Amino acid sequence: MGAWGEKRARRGLSRNKAIDPGEIPQVRRALFAAAALVGLAMAVLVGRLWYLQVLHGEEFRLLSENNRVRLVDVPPSRGLIFDCKRRLLADNRPTFTLVAVPEDVPDWDLLTRRLHALIGITPQEVADARKAARGAPPFKAMRLRSNLDRDQLANLETFQYELPGVKVMVEYRRAYLAAKETAHVIGYLGEINAEELKKAPRELYRMGDYVGRDGLERSRDRVLHGARGVRQVEVDAVGRELKVLSDKPERPGHDLILTLDLDLQKAAAVGMGQQVGAVVALNPKNGQVLCMYSAPSFDQNSFVLGMSGAQWQALSKDPMHPLKHRAISGVYPPGSTYKIITSAAGLSEGVINKDTLYFCSGQMSLGRRTYKCWAHKRGGHGSVNLHKALRESCDVYYYRVGKSLGVDRLAKYARAFGLGRASGVPLPHESSGLIPDSAWKRKRFGEPWQEGETLSVAIGQGFNLTTPLQLARMVAVVANGGRLVTPTLVAAVVRPDGGEPVPEPPGMISRTPVSDEHLKLIHEGLVAVVNEPHGTASRARVKGVTVAGKTGTAQVVALKFERKKGEETPWRFRDHALFVAYAPAEDPEIAVSVVIEHGGHGGSDAAPVAQRVLATYFHGPQPLPEDEAAKAVEAAGRPAGQGTTGQPAAPEAEGVDGD
């Protein structure tokens, strides 16, 4: 082939050569974009795999395992509570609760309709339950309704396969066996709230648990609560348990054996009847509380079973305040029971001795004011020494002793006998009361103390405020020879694994600054109050037992108001009736205080209540008199009229004690 032919052949080959797409700029850019997109997708995939398998691998592994295996929380059963004779006061009873596991419920609307048709659960109940469970793990059961009855259980069992995610759990709820007699001491339970849950130990408490709301249920909640258990179970696709894989049982709470005697609680309830007030009984030797009853009372079981809004409003707004624990938080002028203090102060400070005589004409003048004795209508008590003054509760005698002492020395001995400060009883909401002195008035009112105010204080009126528990401690000082005891309510704790009860440590005991000789003189006067002619508390006598005591009648309003109203005095303006006692006088075993709000007189109204408690202590439960049978049906009723806890009378109130 010639030169021309070779040249043409090369030109032909050049025309037939394939074109490289990469050499085209547009194609090159498209390829780069596709490669970048693929690379980005691979990066996202790798990142997601790293997130799932490395960063949160353990968490998602557990969640995946939970589709088959679940840990079921097992709350502990609460410790039981017994009285001093091992009679059960607070028990645990099985109850059935409907719960739902949110992640096993495919359709909440459908489930709600089915539950409404079967057992009457409303959409609002379901909505409230889901709201309360918000933030909880989806595999955690949430409570829909408690205390299911037999018919509801039967319906749920019959249609269980149409209720995915729903099951019935057996729980134990508190049951109070002597509800009204022990309501204020034992207290009651309530469901833990979110704020409490934040402060509570996670290993002990969960949402839905019940905790103590008042009384010993509250102050001993950790002891009674117990430790949680856990059960590992295998479940199917709709959350039904197939078998138990492992089980760590819960540890029940510790049991409490109280110092309370149920017989005395019942005696106090019968004695109080429809009256308002409190009864307290102590062992004067060691401070153990034998009886602590507040009237009116309430049924603690209502809080456990649940009450409607209307029921709660009726209870909380009741003008008689049944939820108030009057034995420790009700404050009252001590009336003439305070004359024990005035006697101790006068003897210890050398103002009087057993032979000191004052003449009572029925009244005493100080400045422009006249202070009357309760016996002024009959011309007074005549010549009075300490023994007669205590026996007949002569106000004029104690006006003169108080005037010589002054308020500050009176306050010193009142505090030494436990007045004006909390006793230390292991219960919430205890009041300290009030014992006034000159410094207190200057700080409170910016005014100096007046001598006339001392006369009122000397007979337990004026600014004085005490609780029934404080009055029981006060008289126990005379009973035990001068020792101030700290009240205790728990005698022993029983561990859930059995064994002997572990005794609680005794309460603290301190000595009062009053000699044995002076206490003996006061003791003899208190014996005379109950057992000698003209004593103001003859109605406190117990067959075969020597009782010592002191009556008191505390004003709520001025006498001129009472005289004006006469028999029509409204209930809330009537006098408080008080009585303190101990027995047997030779070797006291029990000290008692009774306060009846607006109840009349200490000797005629409060002393019989103490007599029933003392007679029960020494001779066993007393037969029910016919005139008290109606009261026992509803031990915590209410008197006619309305009223509130007594307020201090005017600082210069006159003596109104009597029998």
Enclosing H/E stretch for 268: helix 262-272
418, 445 Cβ separation under 8 angstroms:
no
DSSP state of 193: P
Q: What are phi and psi of 149, to 5 degrees?
A: -95, 180
DSSP state of 574: S
Angle between helices 407-416 and 438-445 (to 10 degrees): 100
Bridge partners, 176 (sequence order): 90
- Give the span between the Cα atoms of 457 and 465, in whole angstroms: 10
- Give the span between the Cα atoms of 516 and 532, in whole angstroms: 23
- Give the span between the Cα atoms of 609 and 592, in whole angstroms: 10
Taking the CA atoms of residue 528, residue 534, residue 535 and residue 536 in that order, the dihedral angle to the nearest 10 degrees is -170
- Cα–Cα–Cα angle for 458, 389, 333, rounded to 5 degrees: 35
Closest C-alpha to 413, from 402, 422, 423? 402
Distances (CA, A) of 651 to 453, 463, 589, 631, 648: 6, 6, 36, 36, 8
DSSP state of 587: S
Q: What are phi and psi of 336, to 5 degrees?
A: -75, -5
Q: Which residue in this structure is represented by tokens 């590992």?
A: 232
Token pair listed for 464 = 């004085």
> Any idea how long the chain is?
659
369, 393 Cβ separation under 8 angstroms:
no
- Give the span between the Cα atoms of 343 and 519, in whole angstroms: 9
Enclosing H/E stretch for 483: strand 483-485
Mark residue 446 as left, alpha or beta (left: phi above 0; alpha: psi -120 to 50; beta: remaining): left
Q: Does 106 sit behind a cis peptide bond, omega within 30 degrees of 0 on the bond before it?
A: no
Closest C-alpha to 292, from 430, 121, 443, 126? 430
Q: Does 651 sit behind a cis peptide bond, omega within 30 degrees of 0 on the bond before it?
A: no
Strand locations in 483-621 (E): 483-485, 490-494, 502-503, 509-511, 548-554, 576-583, 590-596
580, 592 Cβ separation under 8 angstroms:
yes
The 10 Å Cβ neighbour count of residue 126 is 20
Q: How is 145-204 classified by DSSP, letter by letter?
A: E-S--HHHHHHHHHTGGGSTTEEEEEEEEEEETTHHHHHHHH--EEEPPHHHHHHS-TTT
Active site residues: 336
With residues binned 3-state (H G I as helix, E B as strand, rest as coil), the percentages for the chain, rounded to 5, are 40, 20, 40
The 10 Å Cβ neighbour count of residue 240 is 17
- Give the span between the Cα atoms of 395 and 479, in whole angstroms: 23
Token pair listed for 195 = 């704020």
Residues with Cβ within 8 Å of residue 320, at least 6 apart in sequence: 276, 296, 638, 642, 643
- Give the span between the Cα atoms of 30 and 426, in whole angstroms: 83
- Roughly how many angstroms between the first and final C-alpha of the chain, as a whole number? 158
409, 400 Cβ separation under 8 angstroms:
no
- Give the span between the Cα atoms of 479 and 538, in whole angstroms: 19
